[in-house]
Amino acid sequence: MVEQGNRCDGRFFGRRVNCEQVPLLPAEAVARMLDDPRKIPYLLVWKSRSDGTVQEALRAAPHKEIEGLGGLDWTNVVEIERHDGTRTFIRTVLRPLPRNGGRVRLLICLHCQIPRRALYGWRPGGRYATSAERSWHWNCRECAGLCYASEGGARAIRGGRISRLFGYAVPDLLSPRPEPWLPQVFTSIDDSRLNGIVRQNHR
């Protein structure tokens, strides 16, 4: 859970982790895997945007049946296995689009059970107020306790008290909106990009 802080002049005090700084599992990648006629696992890899090292990796595979739970429909379930061997299951659902009769696949958050376009496998935690740590499940942004970078004036670059004291006309500006941290998606173990990542992280 996020430690609640106080807001003053649009600023947030307390533990805060922006969703743009943790790995995002997009429903689009899961839909691509489930719709693949080969019915094979996909590998998703999140690389650090600062030094290129792998920060998260998982195997996503279609799952139809779990031993001991016969009779349930697992057609729209994806099995997520992390590099450390931990596994979880994510249900998906097809929802109609407002135009052209199309449909979109969404991921169901385990906690709130609401279909979402993306889930997060990290949550606020660790040594610093902005630190994040892996969570057992993949949840939506709200259930994971994450914020948008634009919430609470966090993107504001303020002119500062000195500028205001001396009457300098230094307006508050907004920093660029950060991009979500999307994975690289590998649909084959023979992918040349995957071989490069393996070599890089075993130096």
* Nearest C-alpha neighbor of 11 from the set 162, 123, 157, 124: 157
pLDDT single digits (tens) 8-27: 445 555 578 999 999 999 99
Task: Note the pTM of the prediction, 2 decimals.
Answer: 0.75
Average per-residue pLDDT for the chain: 79
Q: What CA–CA distances, in Å, run from 41 to 36, 79, 80, 91, 185?
A: 10, 9, 10, 16, 11
Q: Where are the domains of the chain?
A: 7-200
Mean pLDDT check: name the lowest of 120-124, 143-147, 155-159, 164-168.
155-159
Strand ranges for 87-175 from DSSP E? 87-96, 103-108, 115-116, 118-124, 132-139, 156-157, 173-174
pLDDT single digits (tens) 108-151: 999 999 999 999 999 998 888 889 999 988 999 999 999 988 77
What's the pLDDT score for residue 203? Answer: 46
